[in-house]
A and B are shown apart, each in its own frame.
Chain A
Amino acid sequence: MRPSKQMNFSRRSFIKTSALASGGMLIGFNLFNACKSDVKMPVDLSKLNYNDFNAFIKISEEGKVTIFAPNPEIGQGVKTSMPMLIAEELDVPWEDVYVQQAPLDTENYTRQIAGGSQSIRLAWTPLRQTGATAKQMLVNAAAAKWGVDASECSASQGVITHKDGNTLGYGDVVKEAATMEVPEDVTLKDPKDFTIIGQNTSNVDIDAIVTGKPLFGLDYKEEGMVYASVLRPPAFGQVLESYDDSAARALPGVIDVITIGEKMRKVLDAGKANWSTVIGTSDKVVVIANSTWQAFKGKNAIKATWKNDAKLESTKDQDDQLLAILDGNDLDVRRSDGDVNKAFAEADQVLERTYEAPFLPHNTMEPMNFFANVTPEKVHLVGPVQTPEAAAEVVSALLDRDLSDIHLDMTRMGGGFGRRLYGDFVFEAAEISAAIKKPVKMVSSREDDMTTGVYRPASKYRIAASIKDGKITGYRLKEACVNGNMYGLIPNFFPAAAIENFQVESAHFNSSVTTGAWRAPYTNFLASAEQTFFDELAETLGIDRVQMHMDLLENAKNNPNPNIEYSPERLQGVLKLAVEKSNWGKAEDGVYQGLSVYYCHNSHVAEVADIRMEDGVPKVEKVTVAVDCGIVVNPLGAQNQIKGGVIDGIGHTMYSDFGFKDGVPSSNNFNTYNLIRMGQTPHVDVHFVENNIDPTGLGEPTLPPAGAAVANAIYKATGKRLYKQPYMNHLKLEKVVG
């Protein structure tokens, strides 16, 4: 998902709470000492009485702190790392902090989105300001209580100290502080004074996860809730014609069978959808039952007929259309420096290659689901969605309800990877609940999830370089994709400004297959194409792969008006670090190495893959990763994202294949679709570039370079260049004899 607007620090997030109306029973004795970090009170943080202080922070009289995590948690770790930013500047011991997931609240929070690896980058200053402002208000309240000047007081680890030695706990002054003026400018800590940021901090939900507590949307339950299973068209391009639900209605536990879709079509026709609406227009048959299993069985018992509303596409048709785009000349020019036509006309030699990748399902481990309870009083929505605000907007149009009637609580999410950017499952749940006037949870089976969802679009790249007198004089990239093209920033990625005559063009064809962002959209395949092309280009020029890249980055550095997104210096930095830490070029015999270096989502990454051949099959043993994401907020969480991105990237580029036959997806479960498993997993060795630059995200940037690192290593081992993913399907190995 493309990075979006800066998260502005909303002053409204400082609720001016009047003195606690409820008064709250003061604990009998003064517990202000309780908030000193060395006092280990067996306190169940979640049960304490907290005073509202601002939208992010509540403090109990005992000084224990609740911090609200504003953004959806899809496994990228922001439910832990964003509260760390607040706690650091609030200056409280982390073990005194209880983190709670914030609901959708556009009054107090901005950009409650999980996407684009932007949460930490955008929240870095605003959330630290939130913590620092709260601390200053507490100090001001203590100073007022003591009748001294605030400058004589300091606050640290939850305790305010006056120069004469008096101390007060944050909990003792929170009620007064909450009613005070919000100070304008607050100073933030110098990174060298950080006590929480930069520390290994484990996942705030880890205790609940390892003991199986209810956390995810699929676990959510409410009194009187029924279950719904939705029958959607089996092929993209088809719509419902008729159905017979008699067999379904006869099954145990089936309460009702309805259809939905009309309300959604009205929203689409009225142009009330928004950027995160990706949904088919067919009517859908919905079986309502007393349990998930009964709902699934009921749905499978529906006999429906479908009619073609658009051409039913097969992979062959889609491939032909994409190749036709590349062969044609009416692509949109996205960036053009110098004169590529001249460079190619005068070239001694041209290297041109075409790279191809399939559609991919997201396959979050938790299939799509959502809870809705539509009543005259309010519309209560609960579940896993990466764009709660956008979803609530569409539901208000769908049900013709005021936006303020929509209350959306976010659960922890069993993976997102971009699939949950699109709220189709929220709209279905809302439309069902409105129809049956009951609280309902819509549940997708794995088969539903893989065959009626939103996919990473298939794409093909044709990359060409012109060579004259042994120099790279021109670079031309053509992108052919489905339903859309690379977002605006990508043409300004490397090698823009590094090659004098440079051009990027793109075009797409529209398919009835619903497509959308998939972890590191567009770059998740473009990086493989580009970084395998440069590997082959270096070989063609007969020059060292690393030196060529360093020189190209040097060109970008010296370019007077580069207009680029990446930093050439920081790409050179990660390249050097990866080369050094991977023992590049000096691997043991039998080990073949491949290199890839890439910028996306504001972070700079280089990867070296080590492979060995085992019975003629390449086995990825190790990947050395060098990452420059500025300050690392939570090293433990950062390592998890980095390793996860690399292995996810390797899995999908090497093993995952997906296509369509007359609109019907080629696979509907894990028996016919390969996700990477432990046995195929390399060890990932992570190295950070140490600096004090403001932090950038890690949810996506290490995935794109992984494919090329492996492909370049496989070339060294087998002599075979790889142009089509998944690589293992297209790696023609001679029969291994003996």
Chain B
Amino acid sequence: MPKFNLKINNKNHTVEAAMDTPLLWVLRDQIGLVGTKYGCGIGQCGACTIHVDGNAMRSCLLQVSQAEGMNITTIEGLSEDGSHPVQQAWKDIDVPQCGYCQSGQIMTASAFLERNPNPTKTEIRNAMNGNICRCASYNSIEKAVEVASKKSS
């Protein structure tokens, strides 16, 4: 099987995997970063969202062969100790119910706020519409993104 050199959370990893293996499963099963979650495998739910050069991307749609050379950040690399403003806001508002979708929600929100630090309510709702939360913690997610935007601005 081919080898790939990946840069994840500022660390280099060499992995052996079939070319078409989604980065999601390389992260989870081979590198042991299980914070990035599997929800649908077809880019519909957002649970597998990571950052690629600062942009939110669905790691279930990114093949490991494409990921070489990219600067990848996962939830585990978003901050040293959960101190990123979005993580802080998630704690302040106590957003999670089951918590399974939340790393994807946080990665989507943090990339969005990076590009749009002072979003309107509508912009927040549109930005987060791609991430499904089956427990429907949507009111808390919306509020936490608002609180996070005030924390960092």
Contacts and interface: CB of A to CB of B under 8 A. Distances in A.
Bound together = yes
Interface of A: 73-77, 200, 202-203, 205-207, 209-216, 218-219, 221, 227, 252-253, 291-294, 363-367, 412-417, 445-446, 636-637, 640-641, 643-648, 651, 669-671, 675-679, 681, 683-684
B44 interface: yes
Given A212-B74, A365-B98, A683-B139, 16 more contacts: A74-B98, A77-B97, A210-B90, A212-B103, A219-B28, A221-B34, A291-B29, A292-B25, A365-B134, A412-B98, A446-B39, A640-B135, A646-B136, A648-B135, A669-B41, A677-B131
A437 B10 CA distance: 39
Contacts of B40: 446, 669-670
B86 to A, nearest CB: 8
Contact of B138 (A212, A216, A636, A681): A681
A212 B135 contact: no
Cβ-closest 4 pairs across A and B: A212-B35, A75-B98, A414-B100, A212-B75
Given A74-B98, A669-B40, A678 B45 contact: no
Nearest to A684: B139
B56 interface: no
Contacts of A643: 136-137, 139-140
13 contacts: A75-B98, A75-B100, A210-B103, A212-B33, A212-B103, A414-B101, A446-B42, A636-B94, A645-B136, A648-B135, A670-B132, A671-B44, A681-B136
Nearest to B47: A365
Contact of A211 (B29, B35, B39, B42): B35
Interface string B48-90: 0000000000000000000000000011101101100001001
Contacts of B94: 200, 202-203, 206, 636-637, 640
B136 A647 contact: yes
B76 A211 contact: yes
Given A211-B76, A292-B28, A292-B29, A644 B99 contact: no
Residues of A contacting B: mostly? loop
Contacts of A416: 98
Contacts of A200: 94
B33 A252 contact: no
Given A210-B87, A292-B29, A366-B37, A647 B44 contact: no
Given A218-B38, A679-B125, A209 B96 contact: yes
A365 B103 CA distance: 12
Interface of B: 1, 17-18, 21-22, 25, 28-30, 32-42, 44-45, 47, 74-76, 78-79, 81-82, 87, 90-91, 94, 96-103, 106, 125-126, 128-142
Chain B at the A interface: SS class: loop
Contacts of A218: 28, 34, 37-38
B131 A678 contact: yes
A209 B35 CA distance: 8
A206 B36 contact: no
Given A212-B103, A644-B135, A203 B96 contact: yes
Given A252-B18, A293-B22, A445-B41, A206 B96 contact: yes
Contact of B45 (A216, A417, A648, A670): A670
A218 B103 CA distance: 14
Contact of B36 (A73, A212, A671, A681): A212
Nearest to B33: A212
Contact of A203 (B34, B99, B131, B138): B99
Nearest to B25: A293
Nearest to A637: B94
Contacts of B33: 212
A211 B97 contact: no
Contacts of B47: 365
A364 B78 CA distance: 26
A211 B32 contact: no
Contacts of B81: 211
A215 B102 CA distance: 12
Contacts of B140: 640, 643
Contact of B98 (A292, A363, A367, A414): A414
B25 A206 contact: no
Nearest to A293: B25
Contacts of A647: 136, 138-139
Contacts of B90: 206, 209-210
A292 B87 CA distance: 29
A679 B135 contact: no
Given A207-B91, A679-B126, A651 B136 contact: yes
Contact of B44 (A75, A636, A670): A670
Given A678-B128, A683-B139, A413 B98 contact: yes
**Highest count of chain B CB atoms <10 Å: which of A210, A294, A679:** A210
B31 to A, nearest CB: 11
A641 B106 CA distance: 20
A675 B34 contact: no
Nearest to B92: A202
Nearest to A205: B99
A73 B135 CA distance: 13
B82 to A, nearest CB: 4
B136 A648 contact: yes
Given A365-B132, A683-B139, A415 B125 contact: no
Given A675-B134, A681-B136, A206 B91 contact: yes
Given A211-B35, A292-B29, A636-B94, A412 B99 contact: yes
A27 B126 CA distance: 55
B44 A210 contact: no
A104 B23 CA distance: 35
A215 B75 CA distance: 14
Contacts of A367: 38-39
A446 B41 contact: yes
B21 to A, nearest CB: 5
A364 B134 contact: yes
Contacts of B37: 216, 218, 365-366, 414
Given A214-B34, A293-B29, A366-B37, A644 B100 contact: no
Contact of B135 (A75, A205, A209, A293): A75
Contacts of A75: 96-100, 135
Contact of A366 (B1, B17, B100, B139): B100
B138 A678 contact: yes
Contacts of A412: 98-99
A365 B100 contact: yes
A74 B130 CA distance: 23
Nearest to A227: B29
A211 B37 CA distance: 12
B17 to A, nearest CB: 8
Given A644-B135, A677-B132, A365 B96 contact: no
A670 B34 CA distance: 22
A205 B74 CA distance: 19
Given A415-B135, A681-B136, A76 B25 contact: no
A413 B96 CA distance: 12
Contacts of A214: 34
A415 B98 contact: yes
A81 to B, nearest CB: 12
Contacts of B76: 211-212
A640 B25 CA distance: 31
Contacts of A645: 136
A295 B141 CA distance: 34
Interface centre among B94, B106, B130 (most CB of A within 10 A): B94
